[in-house]
Structure 1
């Protein structure tokens, strides 16, 4: 799997988790203050877990952004240190891609 595919999968997963968290918040808000003591305790636990999940999601997003920035910096540094190798790799990749596309 390529790095781009992994990044796209991570972003999709984060979007899905964000959607679930938002839906859960909406359900808690819609439930209102109905129910007995046990229901209120359960709502409080769900709200606490929801808050924790949101905090972890934010941390995961920050970590993903930081890793992407680090990868971009490392790539930039490598290209500046090895311009001819980078041009060769890019040319070879373009050639292979051209071969694959022309076969279809």
Structure 2
């Protein structure tokens, strides 16, 4: 029911992970050929990218979990009190119909 994701979010995550992988690859290559300052700089950049990517993934997981929890609550409420659900649906339909009718 709430399993839809936008392709834009997936693309952003894929780009972030790809950028992180490229930075880590540069870091590993630089260990033998660069000075300590350059290696430390590359390590700092990789660490900050890793933190940002983790934060984005965790934020997305929290939003997804909150949506699933809300859907579960609505589902259990409607199963426990089906006529209340019908009444709420009817009320919402009347309000939307009135708003659409008033625009014309």
TM-score (norm: length of structure 1): 0.63
Give the 5 Å matches for 1:85-100. 85-100=84-99
For the structure 1 residues 55 and 26, does the alpha-carbon distance in structure 2 shift closer, same or farther, using more than 3 Å as the test? Answer: closer
Question: 2: CA distance between counterparts of 1:25 and 1:19?
Answer: 10
2:45 is equivalent to residue 65 of structure 1: no
Structure 2 spans left out of the alignment, 5+ residues: none
Map of 1:80 onto structure 2: 79
Which has more radius of gyration?
A: 2
For the structure 1 residues 102 and 27, does the alpha-carbon distance in structure 2 shift closer, same or farther, using more than 3 Å as the test? Answer: farther
TM-score (norm: length of structure 2): 0.63
Give the 5 Å matches for 1:14-93. 15=9, 18=13, 21=16, 25=20, 38-93=37-92
Report deviation, 1:73.
Answer: 0.9
Q: How many pairs were matched up?
A: 93
